[in-house]
Structure 1
Amino acid sequence: FKEIIDCSGFQLQFNEPTRFTQSSSSCIDNIITRSSYNVCFRLNFDLDLSDHNTIMVNLPLKAKCENAKDNFILIKKRIYSKENTEIFVDYLKNKYSFSFNDDLSADENYNSFLQNFLMVMNCIFPQKTLRRKSKSKPVLLNWVTQGIKISSKRKQELHWQAKTSNNVQFKNYVKLYKRIFKRVVKNAKVMANSLYINKSDNKSRAAWQVVNRELGVSNVKPESKIVLKGNNGEENNNPTLIAEK
């Protein structure tokens, strides 16, 4: 099979086993690319979910920046206007809005209260997607794949469901999902950052850019000025006049 792939102008990206059973190991899970592709980074790791490993490759596509054309970023924000806040407060004051049932347990009453509270909050203060101009240079976000975006949204949904659930098995599943998601994001970041540094002409500078990006440090230094105060109380911050004095 490998010879057929090679003769057709393609290549297998993984030669080591990607599936393990009690009696055998094989490369049944693989990624096939053109022979002209120079794949710089590969990942083959076990998520402890099945006997199939998770495999990832980073293909040498043209890097794209998030909103590089107009340098805008998308943010989600709730609008807390005075009118909406008054409606929300009035709703909370209504004793019939959050009624407690004496026949239910404390946990059941709490779950009912939380569901009603979140429903009212999302209705009165819905999240809106806004465009905001980025203050700094756009950062390459190659590691944020579509799969990671979908998994992140699913993780948030599971997080809120676990808050209102008493099922121990479900809570353990959510914890496992979060650990796996964290591991996948970490490996994706490592893969993207390594590729970014390897492709850069100035590898030292690229490495520091990656470090600063992870630490949230801005590359823009605040401008500092010397201000002199004259005898008449007049302030002067003109560098030329200060140098002459």
Structure 2
Amino acid sequence: MVLVRNGVPTEDIQSIREMSVEKVTEMVAVRYPEKNILLLAVYRVPDGDFGVFLDIFSDALQELCQLKDFRVVVAGDFNVDFRVDSTEKNRLLDLIETFGLRITTTEPSRMTKTSSKCIDNIMTNLSENDTTTETEELHFSDHRAQIFTYMHEDENHKRQEHIYKRNMGKKCIRKLRRAIREFDWESLLSGKSAQEAYTSFHDNLVVMIESFCPIQRKLVKKCKAKNSIPSDLKDAKNELEILALQAIIRREDTIYELYRRKKKQFFERLENHKRETMENMVSRAENKTKVIWRIINENVRSKRRQYPGGRLKVESISEYFSRIGEELSENLPRAEKSAGHYLKESTVRSSGSFFFNPITSQEVVKIINSLKHKTTMDVYGIPTCLIKQLAEEISDPLQMVLNKCVVEGEFPDKMKRAKIVPVFKGKCPNYRDFLRVTIYLRLNNMDFEKKDLLQLH
């Protein structure tokens, strides 16, 4: 039997149905024209003549081969243990191999207290990269269910994308560090203005990075997240489903009570597992705030309820916040004295001078290490995570350049460049713009902020 979802167009192949022989085998086949896939369901009677079955099965596959674009999925109960080496298994495998088919699983499909056998299987000539087969216990039969998933070529293509990423392997980083250490930065930067010194430092460093850590085009295949539920929880879930079926069939109070108790224990264990998983995610994350908010948003979305008439419109929120400033300003009492009056009467007097201590190499390393570990690249294609790995090597030339900028009051032109990246946010068609400035500008800003605070305090 082949059950087809309502609305999915399929064609019954009558010639395959007529090949069924009582007490030997039963077969039925349908064609899915949209994907050009043939589905063949097979049942072999355990005590039937195996040689006759192979002849009939071979004729059925030969019949399917005559159809255009032969792509087939065979699913059924063959009553042959694919986990044990036997004559019947070898004869069946030899037959399907002649038609370019393969079995997709060897997981047990029928388990008892004394045996564990794989007598059901799914065979196909589709690529292994496009198919997966999983075995699940559904408690509707003494056989376990086999779930076959086929990712069509067009859908599989959508799950693949190319990205451009720097090669930051251990060997590449090691060679880059050695090149930076052996370069004579002092001779290069001495006697030059801040603008020239920064340009020379930047250009030479970019050349080294491009030489040892080039940007490469890589194919990324998006895979579905794997189920991380431990095996003991899966076993507890299976036990709970068995009790639920027994409670429905037998209708006994003792089973109902046992089911309620087991259900409560299962959800308590599941909640503890979720809590431990979230704690591990937060503890391993470098940006803990971001991970915490992501967990909160996921839980809020899953528990969100819609109440009629209780949804705010975007226009209403925008109008409220656009007028709130004027309303507060109108309602505030007028002050008798202005801010300038209080500044004139202030007892704190400025010395009239503002002095910056030169930045040291140790301060540069400390500031670099305080940056977030991000792989996003700036306008020159340099990610923060790469600079963090080169902190010790570039600290000396970088402190020389930054001190020159302060002394000469010069802001290098290469620091003024930035990259604006439109980032798609959720299902909203609007994009949010993110400004990615150069990494050295962030270092410079953090240094100035630190020294400003020292002067003010």
TM-score (norm 2): 0.20
Structure number with bigger Rg: 2
Higher relative contact order structure (alpha carbons within 8 Å, sequence separation ≥ 6): 1
* Structure with the larger helix share: 2
